[in-house]
Amino acid sequence: MDYAVVFIFGAVIGSFLSVCIYRIPLGRSIVRPRSFCPVCKHPIRWFDNVPLVSFLLLGGRCRHCGEKISLRYFFVELLTAVSGTVLLFYSSDYAGFLIYWFFTCILIVVAFIDIERRLIPDIFSIPGIFAGLVLSAFFSTGSAVFSAAALKDSLIGVLAGGGSMYLMGVLGEMAFKEKAKKAGGAVGGGDVKLMAMIGAFMGWKLALVTFFLAPVLGAAAGLYVLLKRKQDIIPYGPFLALGAFISLLYGDNILSFLFGF
């Protein structure tokens, strides 16, 4: 029962995240106007705006002009619903579940904005760093008790996450001078701030697992993009986000496998 509620609620949240992904980089309000078809501008009625279901019933097309609706809408709704369900399964307490689902929602928005626009807006990562610090400090034990140790772990996480990414950028620029100049830096400042936020929510150990996991995930996708589309610049945010989610679920297992703690 819990899982079904989280799944349905997740699809609804996902539908809102899609609006954020589309409108926030354009500087538009996320509450007004109501959703409309980006092609024919026809407002979308509530029965055509039911998460997951409407997309399937309409066959992924606008009811009015028949133009294709981006698969991204369906995918973000599904991803938000599934990630919530999976996190609930792995969580030992509700506070942790809610915090990490909230964190995952930010990751989803950031990843898709980065895919579509090659940028990670500060409006997510900077407040995200503070949210991560505060939530970690007060809810790490599952109940609302301040923990200095958790705050310290989260603070070191910000430094380790952001620092490792920054260092990678410096080294990358030294190694690929010409290419990096063309792309405006090997590592974007957005990636540094995103990793700092990941560190704030997950602590320094899992932030470092994320840091090492992301290039492994990115390499496979990068190879595909390089061969298929003859492009050699790919957004890195989605791999940091995916790496963070995997570390959230399996980071401790990965660490104990590697180092035995």
Cα separations in angstroms, 19 against 36, 88, 99, 197, 206: 11, 25, 21, 22, 30
Would you say 195 and 165 are in contact if contact means Cβ atoms under 8 Å apart? Answer: yes
Rounded to an integer, what distance in angstroms lies between the CA atom of residue 177 and that of residue 185? 9
Cα-only R_g, the chain: 19
Q: Taking the complex as a whole, how short is the minimal distance between the CB of residue 57 and Zn ion, in angstroms?
A: 15
Nearer to Zn ion, 68 or 179 (CB): 68
Nearer to Zn ion, 39 or 71 (CB): 39
Rounded to an integer, what distance in angstroms lies between the CA atom of residue 30 and that of residue 174? 41
Q: Taking the complex as a whole, how short is the minimal distance between the CB of residue 35 and Zn ion, in angstroms?
A: 11
Q: What is the 3-state secondary structure (H, E, C) of 46-67?
A: HHHCCCCHHHHHCCCECCCCCC
Q: Taking the complex as a whole, how short is the minimal distance between the CB of residue 16 and Zn ion, in angstroms?
A: 21
Rounded to an integer, what distance in angstroms lies between the CA atom of residue 244 and that of residue 236? 12
Nearer to Zn ion, 37 or 255 (CB): 37
Who's near 29: CB < 8 A, 6+ residues apart?
23
Rounded to an integer, what distance in angstroms lies between the CA atom of residue 73 and that of residue 81? 12
Q: Taking the complex as a whole, how short is the minimal distance between the CB of residue 49 and Zn ion, in angstroms?
A: 13
Q: Taking the complex as a whole, how short is the minimal distance between the CB of residue 23 and Zn ion, in angstroms?
A: 17
Q: Taking the complex as a whole, how short is the minimal distance between the CB of residue 59 and Zn ion, in angstroms?
A: 13
Rounded to an integer, what distance in angstroms lies between the CA atom of residue 44 and that of residue 190? 33
Q: Taking the complex as a whole, how short is the minimal distance between the CB of residue 68 and Zn ion, in angstroms?
A: 10
Nearer to Zn ion, 65 or 175 (CB): 65
Would you say 94 and 68 are in contact if contact means Cβ atoms under 8 Å apart? Answer: no
Q: What share of the chain is helix, strand, coil (3-state, %, to 5)?
A: 75, 0, 25
Nearer to Zn ion, 39 or 149 (CB): 39
- Residue 68 main-chain phi, psi, to 5 deg: -65, 135
Nearer to Zn ion, 23 or 64 (CB): 64
Residues that bind Zn ion (CB under 5 A): 37, 39-40, 62, 64-65
Nearer to Zn ion, 39 or 171 (CB): 39
